[in-house]
Amino acid sequence: MEKQCLFCNKTFNADPRELRRCHAIYCSISCSIKHRNQLIPLRKCKCIVCLSEFESKSTKAKYCCKKCKSIHYRRLISTEVNGTRRIQSILLTFPCANCGWDLSSRDVHHIVPSCFGGKNELTNLITLCPNCHRMAHRNLLLEDKLNELVYFRTISSSGISA
């Protein structure tokens, strides 16, 4: 049966099952969402970068424009927290601590995750290749093994032989 979309007024063929459920009022999901978004009232918000006021339908809006958003993210990236960025750039010069792979990119892995109180210190960070990093996240490389690798890395890099 042909119906007319409530949002864009385009005619479309409605599924009989949708007609019985009284759901055949939009031609597509995007029209349904656009119509629902029209009903949301505008709220006054304040940009966290330039402090100007703007209106948005979102309750979580923080930025008045894309420029302010990119400025904020650039500030976050350039901010060093306890020298984390410097430590990570030093660590990325090392090969994979588990297999020794150094041909391409390596990942910096937290042995104790930040969400469980792990710090951004050399004793809690280790350089792993992408394969070993996946193994660590799947608990195929145990925390004891990773701590042992960090211990041997700090001994060998300090010039003390084991």
pLDDT digits (tens, 9 = 90+) for 97-149: 898 888 888 888 888 888 888 887 878 888 899 999 999 999 898 888 988 88
CB atoms near residue 54 (< 10 Å): 16
Contact criterion met (CB below 8 Å) for 41 and 57: yes
Least confident of 57-66, 81-90, 131-140, 147-156: 81-90
Strands (E) located in the chain: 2-4, 11-13, 43-46, 53-56, 107-110, 125-128
pLDDT digits (tens, 9 = 90+) for 9-62: 898 888 887 777 777 888 888 888 888 888 888 899 999 999 999 999 888 889
- According to the model, what pLDDT value does residue 53 have? 93
79 or 141, higher pLDDT: 141
- According to the model, what pLDDT value does residue 159 have? 45
Token readout for 73 is 């993210």
- According to the model, what pLDDT value does residue 84 have? 59
